[in-house]
Structure 1
Amino acid sequence: METSTRKLDIVGICGSLRAGSLNAMALRLAGESMPPDMRLEVIDWSQVPAFNADVLERAGPPAEVRRIRERIARCDGVVIATPEYNFSLPGMLKNLIDWLSRGADQPFARKPLAILSAATGPLGGARVQYDLRRVLLFVDATVLIKPEVFIGHAQSKFDGQGRCTDDATRQFVTAQMLSLERLILQGRLLEQG
């Protein structure tokens, strides 16, 4: 499939705000595993306030939310790496999506998006992915169906510097990033008619 000379611009969102997050490591691995025509920028969303519809109606979205909305609207695709909290989404990640989803111009609509998760348990965050897919379905994102990436026992698959040491994990993430590239390029072809 042909690509233009411009690199595909991918926004990364980590569902954990922890400095040493396994999912931040997984997101870094996704960036390293992308084809040469893709570039990942992980955005900082740690200053997004708790969603308040009164604030939204009175003054519109806060500046930090507007900045992230604009960044996602401009990108070619999104990768979300998130932990599983209490069998579901981290509250702050859901909060971010709630802010971004308000308005007819919400940036997730028809945006190609891949999900991966890393966890210390054997399931690798499988439950969070299914809940996140439901939320993203509602905001009309074009979520990559396969391959799914669940990094179980993730603490044993990354070293002290956050580098992936597991070949199988690296291969799964590389396959997912290749599929995300195809999804983006197929979408472009459909738009061109």
Structure 2
Amino acid sequence: MATVKLLGISGSLRKDATNSMLLREAARLFGDCTYTQADINWPLYDGDDEAASGVPAAVEAVAKQIADADAVLISTPEYNKGPSGALKNALDWISRASVKPWGGKPVAVMSAAAGRAGGERAQMVLRGFMVPFRPRILQGPEIHLAGSSNAFDDNGQLTGEMYIKDLTALMEELRAEIAR
């Protein structure tokens, strides 16, 4: 079998975002794969802008990355009990791209947040946002990384045994879903 291609989409635009760190850890625990993280730092979706200028090339590029990936990993922070605006904006833009990449795509969803619930509500809302696209979203194990700023060592690796065990299990489920 060829090397699996994973694409990560972080709902945080911050340079040292724990959601981006969590995605990299997921790819590491997945094992043999190539991992790329999408850049979703795009202008806000505006139908008038789309009508005047079309879908931005950066959006089309990420839609193609999704289509070309064997699976997608999405990690979201929680802002005001929901996913980040950047992630919702990305999903809105991708829905307008010429490539419709999500149908049947294996997707693993996770969240990292400062609070003690680890972004659980944001993840639940994100799963609802994905319904129209009809991907194959894994149901678990659920990864809600609480107190995320203290969850990684200096090398960016997870430190909590429970999180490592659950993230490894989620990646095993993803590998099985890809093989279907």
Compute the TM-score of the two structures, normalised by the length of structure 1.
0.87
Identity of aligned residues (%): 34
The alignment of Structure 1 onto Structure 2 pairs a total of residues equal to: 180
Displacement, 1:103?
A: 5.6
Aligned residue among 44, 49, 54 for 2:39: 44
The Cα offsets for residues 27-86 of structure 1, whole Å up to 9 and x where unpaired, read as 1111110032x332112222x211111232343211111111111111111001110010
* Higher Rg: 1
Aligned-residue Cα RMSD (Å) equals 1.5
Greater mean deviation of Cα atoms: 171-180 or 152-161:
152-161
1:75 matches 2:69: yes
Instruction: After superposing the two structures, state which structure 1 stretch, 114-123 or 149-158, moved more.
Output: 149-158
Which amino acid letter does the alignment assign opposite residue 172 of structure 1? Answer: D
Q: Is the 8 A contact 2:60 2:98 kept in 1?
A: no
Question: Which 5+ residue runs of structure 1 have no aligned equivalent?
Answer: 187-193
| Equivalent residue for 1:91, pick from 79, 85, 96 | 85
The equivalent residue for 1:64 is 58
Distance, in Å, in 2 between the alignment partners of 1:31 and 1:24 is 11
Indicate if the aligned counterparts of 2:8 and 2:37 stay in contact, CA closer than 8 A. yes
Match of 1:122 in 2: 116
1:32 aligned residue: 28
- TM-superposed CA distance for 1:160, in Å, is 3.7
1:131-189 Cα offsets, whole Å, 9 max, x none, are 00001011112111111111112223212442222222111111101101111111xxx
User: Helix, strand or coil: the match of 1:113?
Assistant: strand
